[in-house]
Structure 1
Amino acid sequence: MLLSRAALPAAVLTLAAALTACTPVADVEPAPDAANPACAEIMVALPSELADQQQRETDSQSSAAWGDPSKIILRCGVPVPGPTTEQCATVNSIDWILQEDETTWTATTYGREPAVEVIFDPEEVSSSTLLVQLENAVSRIEPTRACVSSNDLVLPAQ
Structure 2
Amino acid sequence: MLPARFFTALSAVLAIGALAGCARAIGVEVAPEAADPKCAEVMLAVPEELGPDLPKVPTNAQATAAWGEPGGAVTMRCGVAQLGPSGDCQHVDSGDGTAVDWIVTTDDKGTWSFVTYGREPAVEVIVPPTVTESHSTSFIADLAGAVTQVPATKECQ
Q: Under TM normalisation by the shorter chain, which class is it?
A: 0.7 to 0.9
**How many angstroms apart in 2 are the aligned matches of 1:111 and 1:87?**
10
Paired residues, number: 136
**How many angstroms apart in 2 are the aligned matches of 1:80 and 1:124?**
30
Post-superposition offset of 1:13: 8.9
1:110 and 2:117 correspond: yes
**Within 5 A, what are the aligned runs for 1:145-156?**
145-148=154-157
Task: Answer yes or no: is the 8 Å Cα contact 1:89–1:97 preserved in 2.
Answer: no
Task: Answer yes or no: is the 8 Å Cα contact 2:89–2:156 preserved in 1.
Answer: no
Aligned counterpart, 1:65:
66
Task: Answer yes or no: is the 8 Å Cα contact 2:89–2:101 preserved in 1.
Answer: no
TM-score using structure 1 length: 0.77
Task: Answer yes or no: is the 8 Å Cα contact 1:91–1:131 preserved in 2.
Answer: no
CA-to-partner distance for each residue in 1:100-150, whole Å, 9 max, x for gaps? Answer: 11221001111111100100132233211x2121111111111100001xx
Deviates more, 1:88-97 or 1:139-148: 88-97
Percentage of matched positions with identical amino acids: 41
Post-superposition offset of 1:56: 1.3
TM-score using structure 2 length: 0.77
* Deviating 4+ runs (over 3 angstroms): 10-17
In structure 2, runs of 5+ residues without a counterpart are 1-10
In structure 1, runs of 5+ residues without a counterpart are 1-9, 149-158
Aligned counterpart, 1:42:
42
Whichever residue aligns with residue 80 of structure 2, its letter is: V
C-alpha root-mean-square deviation of aligned residues, in Å? 2.0
CA-to-partner distance for each residue in 1:44-66, whole Å, 9 max, x for gaps? Answer: 11111112111111111101111
